[in-house]
Structure 1
Amino acid sequence: MFQIFRTPKQPFLFCNLKNVFLLLILFNSTIVLCQDGQLDLTFSSYLEAGSSVYAITQQNDNKILIGGLLGDNYNFTRLNEDGTIDNTFMPVTIFNFVSSIAVNDRNEIFIAGGSPSYIKKLNQDGSEDQTFNFEGISGSGSIREVKVLDNGKIIIAGNFNQIGNTTISAVARLNADGSLDSSFNLNFPPFVSIRTLEVQPDGKIIVAGQYYTIYEIFRRYLPNGSIDTSFNGDESYYIYDIKYQDNGKIMIAGPFSEYSGITRHNVARLNNDGTLDTSFDSYNLPQNGTTYTIFNILVLDDGNYILSGSFNTYDGLPSKYLAKIEADGTINSSFDVELGPDYFVWDVFEQNDGKILIGGDFTNYNGTPINGIARLTNTSLSTDNYELKNWINIYPTVFEDKLNIDFNGSSQDTSTSFVEVFSLSGNLILSENILDSKSLYLDFLNSGTYILKITDKAQFFATTIIKR
């Protein structure tokens, strides 16, 4: 049988068979798994060599949308959960690059980037939604960010001075049909470029960018477009990314070495009023202009963060282009990328099952060839949720071709449960959602010992299984 564990902040690890057997003795044949940050071998990138992924998001059916420079005229595509190209999605819209993708609760897709399309709304087959009529950007320019609001309107930000025949700079709001919402204007002068934008749950909008590539912009606006005078952001620094947290704190990242005169290397946390939150520190990330910096911050459900960018150490420890840090800014050593990706990581996305998708310029991860996008293990879970009940039975643990997973007639909600099978070296072999009692067909495995892990919300258990 198995035992149930509360998920520790620093999980037990095994790196060789000696450690495996020791853990089997200690935990009555039930073991805990390897470090996070390892390549998920059930996910394969089918992108062309030289592809760069700048934007990742996931639909509510778990299909994955990606965009960037993908070696074709469209520069965006949709993937199945295993990383294969979704052949039911056939793009017809041309972008010279894609920088942002948004999907709303109705699975409506918005793609934004460069010319000639700038922003399009797509149907589920990849065709253009003909009811969406964006007038286009006059002259040169691009859209860097697209956000869909709860009321169906769309916020766009980037480098532009005119939409259709209307003069409007850097940030605009569109109606649901793509037309310009003339009631909203932040009144930026020409030659403002907004790099990043975040919309708070209360509708306030935080923007960061530059004016004439000299003067920095970091401001918050009310939903009606007027300046929020309660926000005291320091406009001395170029900011690449902004993330708003549920507790009202604000994370920022970019090529800066301080904030309001206090040392902070490339990442800082702010209070809701824009002042520095001194309970979070950044630890010795090399600061050298844009050579070593952070492009993206992912706020995890457990309160930790994953940083991505062009850096290669954090707090003096090797951490190539990726680092997982605690809520106070210290590095989380359970997330070990080892050699990691071989080049920059531009975007990081947390899937519904907690696994991490990364997109960038890389062509391999820990020496394994994979172009532009990869999925990483991330099993460290919060310990703040309910007690997991002993309501699952797994049999037989020595099997020929299949295992049975039985919920014993429980009414427990299993919509967030999933099962994984690992090799003894920690490589992920299979991952599936569990929606009900099921048979798990494993006839493709070679004879030997494997690890079965079932996760539900904040807890998991793992046990050895043997294939005859």
Structure 2
Amino acid sequence: MLTLALVGIGHADPGDLDEDFNPATNGLVRAVSILPDQSIVIGGDFTVVGNTTVRSRMAKYSAAGVLSSSYTPVANGGVWALTPLSDGTLYVGGQFTTLAGATRIRIGRLASSGSIDTSFDAGNNVATASAIGAIEPQLFSGNIVVGGPAGVEKLQQNGGSVSTGVFTPVLCSEANLGVTNISVLSDGRYLLGGLFTASGSSTDGVDSNFSDRILENGKADSVYATNIYGGVTAQTLQADGRILIGGDFVQVDGKTKPYLARLTYTGSLDSTFNPVVDGPVRAIAVQADGKILIGGDFNKVNNVVWPKLARLYANGDLDTTFDANFAVSTNSVYGISLQADGQVIVTGMFTVINGVQRQFIARLENGDATGWFRATSPTSIRWMRGGTAPEAETVTFEYSKSGGWTSLGYATRITGGWEISGVTLPAECQLRAFARTKSGNYDGSTSLHMVTQAYPSPVAMITDASGTEIADGQSKDLGFVGSDAVGSFDLILKNPGTGPLGGISAYFVGENASRFSLISGLDSTTLEAGASTPFEIGVSAANGEEVTADLVLVSNDPTTPTYTITLTVEGTDPKTGWLWKYFQVTEAEGSAADEADPDSDGQSNAFEYAAGLDPTDPGSRFQVTAEVSEGMPLIRFSPYLSGRIYSVETNTTLESTGWSAATGLVTTTDGAGVFTGDEPVSGKRFYRVVITRP
């Protein structure tokens, strides 16, 4: 009997299950928070993880999915909300009355070790008979805003209640079902979502059902008014300030709009966003590229069977490239949390995903998160974010010169990222940034993602000849190369950073690496801040052959010390290769036509191709001189190139007829051709060089 062992190796697709992450809790996971060090804290109703390990409603995992053996806080009731701070502490909200061995009624704060933070004790300052289901911090005051079945309240950094008159939200007295999610905006206002039915008053003059925006003092924001018929259990912001809402509602602004909608800045319905789902949406997460993840109790999206979890394009169309393969019979998804690398943590009542057991929590693969963080000048810092990176609600920047961190404040949104300007950085310092994102069930928790960078710091960037960036990890199709010669392609190395880029070297790797070479450039070992240098690579390929190799650039860029791009070139016939090199086309048309003379040097494209010239440069010319040496014709011409046959013809006039081959010998020296005739010159003679390119 013959037995074969087969091993499959493949690339994970967006939505595929991450087999390395399996907390396997014995109860519902209600809260998820991704900490600045990329570790993951979960909270909920569970008392066991990994099927056998005791963890009382809280557990911590590394980014790789390994359970922390030392992080063991105990809560005597459900944990509903988690929110981290940049100092490593973590706010915990829920139904408990003790946390990590201390009396903490519905809310407490843990140190990074998981022990109780004794400097925060809210006592009974949170409304009785409530649970904390949402927590959001304020950067500068140190206060936090908490929400739950009793409404919304603000607490001081030590847990004390913010006095009446300073924060008097009308929502607290009129809420009857609760606040499930809160967003603290960079201007101090709060965006609330939940199951409350009114938030206005006679003094505010504004009523907003189920979604509201209030000022820092708790008063209603008169600019924002909603008319929603049904609860908002998920709510998050897009980069453009519009607000995505999900829940049990069936109408918005009097229009049928069940379960998922988008609001404008003022709270009115955005009529341009029209996805259709057939069940409640419980969680929403937005990627930096604008795509939208939704989870809930639906089975169809835009009339396509797509149960429980889906990704939409920004316009509301279904993105079928992300498929978690939930079954229609699967229970609801309640929470979506995006990691910094774009991986997706989902929580809910499910126990199986795509036929694989996953109890209440799972992690799914996703595409690549992209971005960079650096000072672009001594007064400006940027954090560009793209791909599957989580869209941030707020971003803050800090610097450290000699221990300790100083806040530079909230960053401002710019296209593709965040920026702070008008700051004065020390001559040398460390920089870091934090992005706060929504996470957990009903978007009631938050995560805090961190990046760091030294200042000044060099940055390596490769672009094509037009200046378009080819980012680390990206591929670039350079086009075509003629099969008769080594083709050359121009690239540019730039240093948009603030320090010298040094230690520069480059090489090729891969199956076709021997077909690629560095022709020129990259000779300097240092590239100053803001400078750039072109470099040229050579590639050879047979007609119809595609060759690929990785170009690896090594430098002192602290973020990308080895910068790798994949280059592809297709071999073609000599004429097409020449057309591509100079015109980026494959047909002799327009300015690339044989008879055209785009550089106005009097030499047609057909001649310049035969002669091996640059048809776009009037200085690239075929040079011919004639003289008589010892009575014999001596014709010098350049350039003299391989792959061509050079001959000389003679005539007594310049008429088009009457030309005949001149006898003699053609030799070459120093890239030039020399024709030495063997027939004496008598009278007036004209000579011309004929180039034949097979």
- Do they superpose with TM above 0.5? yes
Q: Which of 169, 192, 212 is the aligned partner of 1:268? A: 212
Displacement of 1:349 after TM fit? 0.8
After superposition, the Cα gap between the structure-2 partners of 1:393 and 1:164, relative to the gap in structure 1 and judged at 3 Å, is closer
- 1:432 is aligned to none
- 2:192 is aligned to 252
Q: Write the distance in 2 (CA, Å) between the matches of 1:376 and 1:391.
A: 32
After superposition, the Cα gap between the structure-2 partners of 1:81 and 1:334, relative to the gap in structure 1 and judged at 3 Å, is farther
Secondary structure, aligned partner of 2:228: coil
After superposition, the Cα gap between the structure-2 partners of 1:361 and 1:224, relative to the gap in structure 1 and judged at 3 Å, is same
What whole-Å deviation, never above 9, does each CA across 1:73-109 have from its counterpart, x for those lacking one? xxxxxxx7711111232x2452411112111232111
Contact 1:391–1:410 (8 Å) recurs in 2: no
- 1:294 is aligned to 232
- 2:110 is aligned to 174
- 2:518 is aligned to none
What whole-Å deviation, never above 9, does each CA across 1:388-420 have from its counterpart, x for those lacking one? xx85499xxxxxxx966999648598xxxxxxx
Displacement of 1:358 after TM fit? 1.0
What whole-Å deviation, never above 9, does each CA across 1:193-241 have from its counterpart, x for those lacking one? 222221222331111224xxxxx24211111111222211221212222
Identity %: 23
Residues 400-439 of structure 1: pairs in structure 2 closer than 5 A: 409=492, 411=494
TM-score by length of 2: 0.42
- 2:152 is aligned to 218
What whole-Å deviation, never above 9, does each CA across 1:140-198 have from its counterpart, x for those lacking one? x2111011111101111011112354322100111111111222111127643222221
Quick one: which amino acid aligns to residue 156 of structure 1?
Answer: V
- 2:133 is aligned to 195
Q: Does 1:121 align with 2:64?
A: no
Contact 2:29–2:46 (8 Å) recurs in 1: no
After superposition, the Cα gap between the structure-2 partners of 1:409 and 1:130, relative to the gap in structure 1 and judged at 3 Å, is same
What whole-Å deviation, never above 9, does each CA across 1:55-88 have from its counterpart, x for those lacking one? xxxxxxxxxxxxxxxxxxxxxxxxx771111123
- 1:346 is aligned to 282
Residues 45-194 of structure 1: pairs in structure 2 closer than 5 A: 82-89=14-21, 91-116=22-47, 117=55, 118-134=57-73, 136-138=74-76, 141-163=77-99, 165-188=101-124, 191-194=129-132
Q: Write the distance in 1 (CA, Å) between the matches of 2:293 and 2:45.
A: 24
Q: Write the distance in 2 (CA, Å) between the matches of 1:85 and 1:349.
A: 18
Displacement of 1:316 after TM fit? 2.7
Displacement of 1:137 after TM fit? 2.3
TM-score by length of 1: 0.61
Moved more, 372-381 or 194-203: 372-381
Highest RCO, 1 vs 2 (Cα 8 Å, sep ≥ 6): 1
Displacement of 1:370 after TM fit? 2.4
- 2:168 is aligned to 232
Q: Write the distance in 2 (CA, Å) between the matches of 1:293 and 1:115.
A: 27
Q: Write the distance in 1 (CA, Å) between the matches of 2:261 and 2:495.
A: 35
Q: Write the distance in 1 (CA, Å) between the matches of 2:310 and 2:209.
A: 27
Contact 2:224–2:267 (8 Å) recurs in 1: yes
* Unmatched 5+ stretches in structure 2: 1-11, 48-54, 317-385, 387-411, 417-465, 471-475, 480-488, 497-562, 570-694
- 1:428 is aligned to none
After superposition, the Cα gap between the structure-2 partners of 1:370 and 1:440, relative to the gap in structure 1 and judged at 3 Å, is farther
Moved more, 195-204 or 320-329: 195-204
Contact 1:257–1:266 (8 Å) recurs in 2: yes
Contact 2:208–2:225 (8 Å) recurs in 1: yes
Q: Does 1:206 align with 2:145?
A: yes
Contact 1:407–1:437 (8 Å) recurs in 2: no
Q: Write the distance in 2 (CA, Å) between the matches of 1:173 and 1:109.
A: 16
Contact 1:343–1:362 (8 Å) recurs in 2: yes
Quick one: which amino acid aligns to residue 204 of structure 1?
Answer: N
Q: Write the distance in 2 (CA, Å) between the matches of 1:306 and 1:164.
A: 36
Q: Write the distance in 1 (CA, Å) between the matches of 2:13 and 2:295.
A: 15
After superposition, the Cα gap between the structure-2 partners of 1:330 and 1:217, relative to the gap in structure 1 and judged at 3 Å, is closer
Q: Write the distance in 2 (CA, Å) between the matches of 1:102 and 1:256.
A: 25
Between Structure 1 and Structure 2, the one with more strand by share is 2
Displacement of 1:371 after TM fit? 2.8
Q: Write the distance in 2 (CA, Å) between the matches of 1:440 and 1:343.
A: 46
Quick one: which amino acid aligns to residue 82 of structure 1?
Answer: P
Aligned length: 317
* Unmatched 5+ stretches in structure 1: 1-79, 211-215, 287-291, 395-401, 414-434, 442-468
Displacement of 1:303 after TM fit? 1.2
After superposition, the Cα gap between the structure-2 partners of 1:225 and 1:84, relative to the gap in structure 1 and judged at 3 Å, is same
What whole-Å deviation, never above 9, does each CA across 1:269-293 have from its counterpart, x for those lacking one? 11111110101111x322xxxxx21
Displacement of 1:127 after TM fit? 2.4
Q: Which of 248, 253, 256 is the aligned partner of 1:318? A: 256
Contact 2:145–2:153 (8 Å) recurs in 1: yes
Q: Write the distance in 1 (CA, Å) between the matches of 2:109 and 2:567.
A: 50
Q: Does 1:336 align with 2:274?
A: yes
Contact 1:232–1:273 (8 Å) recurs in 2: yes
Q: Which of 293, 302, 312 is the aligned partner of 1:357? A: 293
Displacement of 1:310 after TM fit? 0.8
Secondary structure, aligned partner of 1:240: strand
- 1:242 is aligned to 182
After superposition, the Cα gap between the structure-2 partners of 1:103 and 1:384, relative to the gap in structure 1 and judged at 3 Å, is closer
After superposition, the Cα gap between the structure-2 partners of 1:263 and 1:168, relative to the gap in structure 1 and judged at 3 Å, is same
Q: Write the distance in 1 (CA, Å) between the matches of 2:300 and 2:478.
A: 36
Q: Write the distance in 2 (CA, Å) between the matches of 1:168 and 1:154.
A: 14
Q: Write the distance in 1 (CA, Å) between the matches of 2:118 and 2:78.
A: 20
Q: Which of 200, 218, 222 is the aligned partner of 1:278? A: 222
Quick one: which amino acid aligns to residue 199 of structure 2?
Answer: Y
Q: CA RMSD in A?
A: 3.4
Structure 1 or 2, whichever has the larger Rg, is: 2
- 1:377 is aligned to 313
After superposition, the Cα gap between the structure-2 partners of 1:384 and 1:131, relative to the gap in structure 1 and judged at 3 Å, is closer
After superposition, the Cα gap between the structure-2 partners of 1:174 and 1:369, relative to the gap in structure 1 and judged at 3 Å, is same
After superposition, the Cα gap between the structure-2 partners of 1:86 and 1:233, relative to the gap in structure 1 and judged at 3 Å, is same
Displacement of 1:336 after TM fit? 1.7
Secondary structure, aligned partner of 1:193: coil
Q: Write the distance in 1 (CA, Å) between the matches of 2:167 and 2:241.
A: 24
Contact 1:297–1:305 (8 Å) recurs in 2: yes
After superposition, the Cα gap between the structure-2 partners of 1:385 and 1:370, relative to the gap in structure 1 and judged at 3 Å, is closer
